């Protein structure tokens, strides 16, 4: 049974292989650079996918364009600039870290921190309420006996 599951898992992992058409790369290094680059660019039509993952027509066209630009000798930064000039910064799948995207990058961590702080405070208050040796005052009235 585990063998079957393992076989299935391996077979399905091939489904995440890049949906790209074969392009005439000069060598493996060029292909690796191409794949890294298209994983960092967004498909402008299917906008939650990278150029590497998307099957749409425009993604295919843009992959071809990235390949041609690479052949022309442009650097990764130049290729990204080329596309940002035409499609806006949204085409970068990995948003750059600058004042406008600061909140985008750090908001999840900040919210997590806020949640953790709130949790600690609630737990402290609960612990104080259940502690029989704590001074009894208006804040500590809701002990189990009162229910």
Q: Which is nearer to other proteins, 40 or 65 (CB)?
A: 65
Q: Which of 6, 7, 61, 101 contacts other proteins by CB under 8 A?
A: 61
CA separation for the pair 91, 121 (Å, rounded): 42
From residue 2 to residue 41, the character string flagging contacts with other proteins as x (rule: CB under 8 A) and all else as - is ----------------------------------------
**CA-derived radius of gyration, the chain:** 27
Q: What is the distance, to the nearest Å, from the Cα of residue 74 to the centroid of all Cα atoms in its chain?
A: 27
* Nearby residues of 91 by Cβ (< 8 Å), 6 or more positions away: 41, 42, 44, 83, 84
Interface residue with other proteins among 27, 85, 145, 146 (CB under 8 A) is: 85
Among 44, 51, 70, 79, the residue binding other proteins under the rule CB under 8 A is 44
**Which CB sits closer to other proteins, 25 or 82?**
82
CB of 11 to other proteins, least distance (A): 34
Structure-token pair, residue 106: 């750090």
Question: Using the rule CB under 8 A, is 45 a contact of other proteins?
Answer: yes
Least separation in angstroms between CB 12 and other proteins:
30
Q: Which of 79, 77, 61 is nearest to 69 (CA)?
A: 79
Cβ-contact 63, 71 below 8 angstroms = no
For other proteins, the binding residues in 94-123 under the rule CB under 8 A are none
CB 21 within 8 A of CB 67: no
Q: Which of 88, 86, 93, 78 is nearest to 39 (CA)?
A: 93
Residues lying near other proteins in the complex (CB under 8 A): 44-45, 47, 57-58, 61-62, 65, 84-88, 90-91
């Amino acid at each position: 049974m585990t063998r079957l599951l393992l076989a299935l898992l391996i077979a399905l992992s091939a489904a995440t292989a890049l949906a790209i058409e074969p392009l005439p790369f000069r060598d493996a290094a060029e292909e690796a650079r191409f794949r890294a680059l298209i994983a960092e660019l967004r498909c402008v039509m299917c906008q939650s996918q990278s150029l590497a993952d998307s099957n749409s027509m425009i993604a295919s066209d843009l992959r071809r364009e990235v390949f041609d630009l690479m052949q022309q000798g442009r650097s990764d930064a130049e290729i990204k600039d080329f596309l940002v000039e035409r499609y806006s910064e949204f085409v970068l799948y990995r948003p750059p870290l600058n004042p406008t995207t600061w909140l985008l990058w750090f908001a999840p961590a900040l919210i997590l921190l806020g949640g953790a702080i709130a949790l600690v405070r609630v737990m402290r208050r609960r612990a104080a309420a259940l502690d029989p040796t704590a001074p009894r005052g208006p804040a500590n009235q809701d002990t189990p006996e009162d229910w």
